[in-house]
Structure 1
């Protein structure tokens, strides 16, 4: 079924292209972390139903059979039958029947227990907790997918750039071969150009390997088959435009705060539960039983079964526990205060992260603007160097130097672009805004 779904998904992609939104949607449907989070949520729902049923009537039927291989012996004082019997004389006899059987219907009902009502409240909070955890799992998966998509997009762009530089350098080498054959340049000068070709070829091979690794990482983060093939259709320009858009939200939207707020509610329930331990509990029961006594194994014959019916209530009142209950209650109260302090500390920490992430994004965007100009400038310088070399104004060594400068600038540009994307999604994750169509 999963394989069919995967094939259907990719067949719906136009010409095998994958947008960032497609990647996020696919991961949300197929990633095992999200599937497991959904299962945990469903388990919490059934856990609540289980606890709810503890306060409902409970009925069960029980039955038993036993055979006395030796009937128990009982004794009574002989004077009970004969007052003239010597003192201390007893009469022994076997009482009962060899075969006995019983069956009963038992019904139990909890009437009052303070812990039960607290447990119902806690079970609702447990469902809420799993819902928050499910959203956190979505966040982690989406963060990994978006980051991997960004890296793969940058790697794709870098691979295209490396290929264009390689083709340009190969064209220069091809023309220089003619000059070498005509004796218009030395072998050493030609070797400089060939060195540049080898450098660009190595750069191209590295770019291809980086692209393969980036695509494999993207497929893994989506939980997509690693042998599937597709291309990325969300361009670098679109991703850059998205990175420049403001991140709307506050730290109050962060799922960590919601998780800690839920933990405080659970700690409050723990306090209530410990207080409920000082209250009495009350339950009731009803029993309808039947017993049969036989000298032979004939329970299915038309012989009597003797019935007995009873009902009752049972109350348990805590009286004394040597201070155990109070100590447990005090621990729960301390835990509640600790959770409140943790919430305040975490909230301040998230506000600090907000400041840091915003500044990181601003710094990365400024660096990207600078690198945008640098990459244009160094590419222009390299192409001008080639033109000057053709005119004999500069040597091949200088052309190689300009090429090295271009390759270094491209590497810096790539790193800066990734920093911009990562800074943006870190801020989006802080605001719980990773899934935006």
Structure 2
């Protein structure tokens, strides 16, 4: 008996201390520092960013929160065990009126003297005797029940047997976990997009910087030759001055390009989650990053302007083999749709909205809204629980006597029982049936139904938005390819003009002004060409994101 009581008190104290430590504890996220690599391809840069970018790691914590939420919901269906212990000092005992005169019945009753009543009120033992009293009973007297010091300890357990809302909550927990994963995937897609664009920007800036360095070297050669010719008396000083002005401008442009390259690299480090003092070398070349324009045009169903296409009697738009059921009218409509930037009938039929993570996420949110509606309705179902409890309660005149833990076998010196702690226990079922809640559940169901309808309306808006993004990205990419073709042709022409101008000047049949003008136009053509390359690369990333292929390509 004594050991059992002490064990229950100790268990209650340990439970209290454990709860306090759990509340005070802050879980630390320990992770080993990733190995630092200074050389990165585009795929390696994407992989590093997905694993180490701080904002993405914070998003992944949402998955851990979702997993903890699932555990919280499941815990409601497990046995609930509680241990409690209480000690009280009843420094002023509560009194109640007791009709002692009615205890004997008839003329036989229990009579107390004033001294006996005083002793009983003070908590002292009074021996009651049955005596014959007068016909007038004793009036009710104030009597204090209990002793000054009291305590109790108990252990209780309950088990949920049936709860409709709990069963629906288990289903919702799984869907909630899936939603957290899709939100993480959405963040990863954004990271892939940002790293890809920053990487391409750095590649273009680096290639343009190298080209400017070669231009400076070439212009230095022309300037040296012109200076020597001037010294020999076969050129004018204005020719040398023009070339020096040209070189000064080119050097300034080179310095600006150098700073732009450094800025692009800093942006790439930021998108990857690297510190700015970490050295980074890009292993991919711009040539390997440039897309195959002709094959990309064929995939897009767009006209190739080198061979003509689509309008005014020119060749038809290159497309895949049309199905047998495709009519000539449908083919013409598809050609016009391709030229206008829209999806052809074949492409629209093959397009799967679920490739876009936003659409899949909205579907998951719709499932959650449906489960929330079912959960609100399940609030009308009864709840059934099994309960059990066992414990001890005791009282004494002093605290030391209370903590003696005397059981039923304890005896006083005079042989009388002096037990001060008594056991109790119970088992049972608890049925809770909601009857009327002031229409609270009714309005909760209405809110959940409206939320579900709002999500359903959002599907059409999202489809239209995806269609628009698909058409815009397709048109932007086709235009960027056209501009790239044009700028590549302009660059070839400008390079040839500059080469011929230098030859004519060196042979003495051309003017220095022609060389300066040709070099200026060449630099402009080079700038436009590299800008067109960057626009194509960015447009390709946007296109892959619009069609939902960007994430899959990054995972390959």
TM-score by length of 1: 0.91
Q: How does 1:352-391 map to 2 (within 5 A)?
A: 352-391=468-507
Q: How does 1:280-291 map to 2 (within 5 A)?
A: 280-291=382-393
1:262 to 2:291 alignment? no
Give the corresponding residue for 1:5: 34
**Structure 1: gaps (5+ residues):** 11-15
Give the corresponding residue for 2:404: 301
In structure 2, which of residues 204, 226, 244 is the aligned counterpart of residue 176 of structure 1?
226
Identify which range, 308-317 or 359-368, moves more after superposition.
Answer: 308-317
In structure 1, which of residues 272, 292, 296 is the aligned counterpart of residue 394 of structure 2?
292
Query: Aligned pairs, how many?
Result: 430
Q: Does structure 2 retain, via aligned residues, the 8 Å contact 1:382–1:403?
A: yes
CA distance in 2, matches of 1:106, 1:17: 62
Displacement of 1:316 in angstroms is 2.3
1:208 to 2:311 alignment? no
| Residue-by-residue CA offset, 1:325-378 (whole Å, 9 max, x unaligned) | 223212222221221121122123212221221221111112111211211221
Q: Does structure 1 retain, via aligned residues, the 8 Å contact 2:473–2:546?
A: no
Give the corresponding residue for 2:50: 28
Displacement of 1:85 in angstroms is 9.5
Give the corresponding residue for 1:397: 513
1:18 to 2:47 alignment? no
Identify which range, 298-307 or 74-83, moves more after superposition.
Answer: 74-83
Displacement of 1:186 in angstroms is 3.0
- Aligned partner of residue 465 in structure 2, secondary structure: helix
CA distance in 2, matches of 1:157, 1:224: 23
Q: Does structure 2 retain, via aligned residues, the 8 Å contact 1:375–1:410?
A: yes
Give the corresponding residue for 2:374: 272
Q: How does 1:147-158 map to 2 (within 5 A)?
A: 147-158=197-208
Q: Does structure 2 retain, via aligned residues, the 8 Å contact 1:286–1:311?
A: yes
In structure 1, which of residues 324, 327, 332 is the aligned counterpart of residue 448 of structure 2?
332
Structure 1 pair 367–302 and aligned structure 2 pair: CA distance change class (3 A): closer
Structure 1 pair 172–98 and aligned structure 2 pair: CA distance change class (3 A): same
CA distance in 2, matches of 1:156, 1:201: 16
CA distance in 1, matches of 2:477, 2:353: 17
CA distance in 1, matches of 2:364, 2:292: 33
1:252 to 2:368 alignment? no
- Aligned partner of residue 298 in structure 1, secondary structure: helix
Higher RCO, 1 or 2 (CA under 8 Å, sep at least 6)?
1
Q: Does structure 1 retain, via aligned residues, the 8 Å contact 2:198–2:264?
A: yes
Q: Does structure 1 retain, via aligned residues, the 8 Å contact 2:391–2:423?
A: yes
Q: Does structure 2 retain, via aligned residues, the 8 Å contact 1:157–1:236?
A: yes
CA distance in 2, matches of 1:368, 1:21: 25
CA distance in 2, matches of 1:431, 1:354: 7
Identify which range, 70-79 or 229-238, moves more after superposition.
Answer: 70-79
CA distance in 2, matches of 1:183, 1:73: 130
| Residue-by-residue CA offset, 1:55-78 (whole Å, 9 max, x unaligned) | 111011100101122333333346
Give the corresponding residue for 2:273: 223
| Residue-by-residue CA offset, 1:365-395 (whole Å, 9 max, x unaligned) | 1211121121122122122222222233333
In structure 2, which of residues 288, 302, 309 is the aligned counterpart of residue 238 of structure 1?
288
- Aligned partner of residue 34 in structure 2, secondary structure: helix
Q: How does 1:2-81 map to 2 (within 5 A)?
A: 5-7=34-36, 10=37, 17-77=39-99, 79-80=101-102, 81=110
| Residue-by-residue CA offset, 1:158-180 (whole Å, 9 max, x unaligned) | 01111111111111111222233
| Residue-by-residue CA offset, 1:127-183 (whole Å, 9 max, x unaligned) | 000111111111111111111111111111101111111111111111222233333
- Aligned partner of residue 183 in structure 1, secondary structure: coil
Q: Does structure 2 retain, via aligned residues, the 8 Å contact 1:263–1:339?
A: yes
CA distance in 2, matches of 1:31, 1:231: 18
- Aligned partner of residue 319 in structure 1, secondary structure: coil
Q: Does structure 2 retain, via aligned residues, the 8 Å contact 1:251–1:430?
A: no
Give the corresponding residue for 1:13: none
- Aligned partner of residue 393 in structure 1, secondary structure: coil
Displacement of 1:6 in angstroms is 3.1
Give the corresponding residue for 1:407: 523
Structure 1 pair 88–405 and aligned structure 2 pair: CA distance change class (3 A): farther
- Aligned partner of residue 241 in structure 1, secondary structure: coil
Displacement of 1:436 in angstroms is 4.8
Identify which range, 183-192 or 412-421, moves more after superposition.
Answer: 183-192
- Higher helix share goes to which structure? 1
Structure 1 pair 94–250 and aligned structure 2 pair: CA distance change class (3 A): closer
Q: Does structure 1 retain, via aligned residues, the 8 Å contact 2:56–2:187?
A: yes
Displacement of 1:254 in angstroms is 0.6
CA distance in 2, matches of 1:188, 1:284: 104
- Aligned partner of residue 401 in structure 2, secondary structure: coil
